Structure 1
Amino acid sequence: MRLWLARLFGPDRALYAELKKLIGAYPSELEWYKMAFSVPVPFLSREAYLADSYERLEFLGDAVLQLVVTDYIFRHYPHFDEGEMTELRAKVVNTDYLVEVAQRLMLPQFIRSQGPLPKRLDYLADVVEALIGAVYMDLGFDRARYFIVRRIFPLINWARMEATEFNYKGRFLELVQQKQLGQVEFVVQERRRTSRGEVFVVCVRLNGKEISTGTGLRKKEAEQAAARAALRLLSE
């Protein structure tokens, strides 16, 4: 009864109504969503940061999103092998795409911050994942899956995703930065002449250690091949 009154007459009644439109159900615990839309600022204390920042929910939401996308690809692409499924999933959960999702769902209207927002829009991808985490914590996995399938998946052009050439190098560098794995170098190891023309051999070094190599008729092509191999290594 008290929750019903809060939804209709409380100070957060407008937020309750907007979230119902967004996720397809009334929230039970509004604080999860307020946290999901709280962009952290550098000067917060550790206690304040953990209590009022989306990043813990982002961590959770990322895992839920990965699972739901993986399940969808596994069921709808039976002709894909492991590498092809991994590649398609990476395209769907790509930062640039999730930024677009945030904008199309009009999530910026919900965001609150104690300081200026970052100039780069990458944080909007984090907000999408944090919102998924909030739905999961508040209403459970089934509702979080419903939100992803009914609100995010319709925004995906799956055929275009399949056809799009994936930026393995960009994704690898993004992953290294997210996980704070260290310094990355792409080094041309060899250039040799063949009947097809000049071939480049590029290796990826992580903190000075070679972790993968790739070949191509252009340097960029070899870098992409090496980055693809490195991504597979990190996902194992």
Structure 2
Amino acid sequence: MENTLINEQQPSPDILFQAITRRSTDEQMDNENFEVLGDSFLKLAVSMSLYYRHPSADSGLLTATRSKQISNENLYRLAMQRHLKNYLNVNRVIFRGKDANWLPPGYVIDEANLTLKQRYYQQNAKKKAFSDMIEAFIGAFLISSNYTTTIKFIHWLGIDVVPVNEQAYLIAAFTHTSNSANRIADCYERLEFLGDAILEFLVTRHIFVNYNKIITPGRVTDIRQDLLNNDRLAYILVACSFHTKILHNSPELFDEISSYVGNEDFFPKNQSTDQYLNKNLDRWADSTAPKALADVFEALVGAIFIDSGNSLETVWQVIEPLLRKYLDRSISQPNLNPIRSFSEHGGKVIDCRESTDKDGDKPMAVCIVQMLDGAKVEGRGLSKKIAKANACREAMKHQHHNEYLYQSTA
């Protein structure tokens, strides 16, 4: 490696071996956990770099640029460019028999036999396997060294990343794009872009550090979806009364927030923040929350990060207490996305269409789903996606109710 990494702490051989090893090898370890950790840190590092390097770029441009840099296609290209492709360990080692692909030291094969040569000298892998290996290398550096060294490694790969303390950032975190009165700070969209990456990494890091031996990469994904979906973050923001700080000039947004906050099923009157944060731990977050609330939560995370001098630890100290109950519950049994849970229980979608609300005044999507037992359930929402989620959620309530009745009478 280049001089920038020669004097830095490097991953040990066993960690590097794990980083290059696919599950298909049937070894005692594989690179999937490293890949999940590296993926989230790469997203964060690139997000930070773009945020600081392009102060006038909007969140849409930042997101598009980030997507290109961290795409599987680009990571595959970097693996080829840095001559890392030959390190990938894909095939299971077979010592004996007609499919043997291992030679003892000192033995050679007849290279004129192309079939034999291919079996011993070549491995077949998809492009994504190489991009996964790159992310696993990043994860390996992260657990073996520190953030700075890992960023240097990312830079060595060929990704341009770079390793403020103003109240204006906090103003921006609560400023909606509709607010024309605020000329001091930007709106929250850029901070939301940064905060999203920070949140994902911090939750992934927490899971990896504390539960690495018992949590699979698939479970990590389930936990992150349970904790960090827009509806969960919106609920936490309102539970902390931060929605009252949002600066905007949008009657539509005002109506949406008022309707959501005024729903006493979610926010009963005269309850504390702690009481709100202890509610519905075993349920997937409701889908009626305005997305702007979740965006503000992520922007607040970005603002805390910048305001604390880029301190991830400070962000976690502030955010972890808000996520703690959900995190503990999700580790033991993550709440699955209702659409996925419904599908896994054998349900199917019968119809999804545009319609109006029950009074016939406002546009509204309607979705009808059918459970395995034939029962049909209807869901409504502002979009087909929300209507589908609501229908699946109600269907799963029906399923759980039937299971409870069965257990009670058994």
Q: What TM-score, normalized to structure 2? A: 0.32
Aligned residue number for residue 34 of structure 2:
none
Aligned residue number for residue 88 of structure 1:
223
Aligned residue number for residue 148 of structure 1:
319
Which structure is larger by alpha-carbon Rg, 1 or 2? 2
Whether the 8 Å CA contact 1:40–1:53 is kept in 2: the answer is yes
Letter of the structure 2 residue corresponding to residue 36 of structure 1: A
Distance 1:71 1:218, change over 3 A: farther
| Distance in 2 (alpha carbons) for counterparts of 1:65 and 1:114 | 28
Q: 1:168-200 CA distances to partner (integer Å, 9 max, x unpaired)?
A: 648xxxxxxxxxxxxxxx9xxxxxxxxxxxx78
Q: Is 1:112 paired with 2:247?
A: yes
Q: Is 1:123 paired with 2:287?
A: no
| Distance in 1 (alpha carbons) for counterparts of 2:373 and 2:334 | 19
Following superposition, the deviation at residue 155 of structure 1 comes to 4.6
Letter of the structure 1 residue corresponding to residue 175 of structure 2: S
More strand by share: 1
Whether the 8 Å CA contact 1:73–1:89 is kept in 2: the answer is no
| Distance in 1 (alpha carbons) for counterparts of 2:373 and 2:331 | 24
Secondary structure of the structure 2 residue equivalent to 1:39? coil
Whether the 8 Å CA contact 1:39–1:117 is kept in 2: the answer is no
| Distance in 2 (alpha carbons) for counterparts of 1:165 and 1:155 | 13
Whether the 8 Å CA contact 1:54–1:127 is kept in 2: the answer is yes
Following superposition, the deviation at residue 156 of structure 1 comes to 2.3
Distance 1:124 1:201, change over 3 A: closer
| Structure 1: segments with no counterpart, 5+ residues | 1-26, 171-185, 187-198, 203-215, 225-236
The equivalent position to 1:103 in structure 2, one of 218, 238, 241, is 238
Paired residues in the alignment total: 151
Structure 1 segment 29-68 matched on structure 2, within 5 A: 29-41=166-178, 52-68=186-202
Q: What TM-score, normalized to structure 1? A: 0.53
Whether the 8 Å CA contact 1:101–1:155 is kept in 2: the answer is no
Q: 1:73-122 CA distances to partner (integer Å, 9 max, x unpaired)?
A: 11232311111111111111011111111012211121111333522522
| Distance in 2 (alpha carbons) for counterparts of 1:111 and 1:201 | 39
Q: Is 1:76 paired with 2:227?
A: no
**Identical-pair percentage:** 29
Whether the 8 Å CA contact 1:91–1:161 is kept in 2: the answer is no
Distance 1:135 1:69, change over 3 A: same
Letter of the structure 2 residue corresponding to residue 108 of structure 1: H
Aligned residue number for residue 304 of structure 2:
135
| Structure 2: segments with no counterpart, 5+ residues | 1-163, 257-288, 350-370, 377-387, 390-410
Aligned residue number for residue 207 of structure 1:
none
Secondary structure of the structure 1 residue equivalent to 2:251? coil
| Distance in 1 (alpha carbons) for counterparts of 2:227 and 2:168 | 28
